[in-house]
Amino acid sequence: MTSLTALLDCKNRCLRRFLQSSLDYSGELEAGEFSGLQKFLLKRERIIKALDLYDRKISSVIEKMNPSARDELLLEEIRTRIVTKNDIVTRIMKLDAKIMDKIEGEMKSLVGELSGAKKTKGNISKFKSTWVAKSGEELDKTL
């Protein structure tokens, strides 16, 4: 195994951690727990930074690689790792779409609840303002 294939393997492991992070948070969302969003995003941000480092290192190794070292066996190993990477990324994208749908659904639900609460508060205010005038409380203040 070359340093390039080793780096590609490390990058794929990193992508699997990213996928696992999404799977874990998706499980939390299924349980109705939305409070872990910030922790989830921070974890993913750290993984993305690591992926960026791997990408730069891979580019550096490719630039320094002797063209004669790029034999068919190496190219096949690289293709295999790229297929694996693409499969993982596809799974991440599908899972992230589900996560976004769940979060958007919860946001719509909260907006509906807030709107209902605001309407109820407005109705109570209207009722209270007419009730005070009819109850004669103004008369008590003048005595």
pLDDT digits (tens, 9 = 90+) for 54-77: 999 999 998 998 888 788 888 999
CA-wise closest residue to 118 among 110, 129, 108: 110
How many Å is the maximal CA-CA distance in the chain? 104
Mean confidence (pLDDT) of the chain:
86
In this predicted structure, what is the pLDDT of residue 143? 47
In this predicted structure, what is the pLDDT of residue 100? 93
From the centroid of its chain, how far is CA 84?
Answer: 22
pLDDT beneath 50: ranges in the chain:
143
Joined tokens for residue 55: 């990408």
In this predicted structure, what is the pLDDT of residue 109? 85
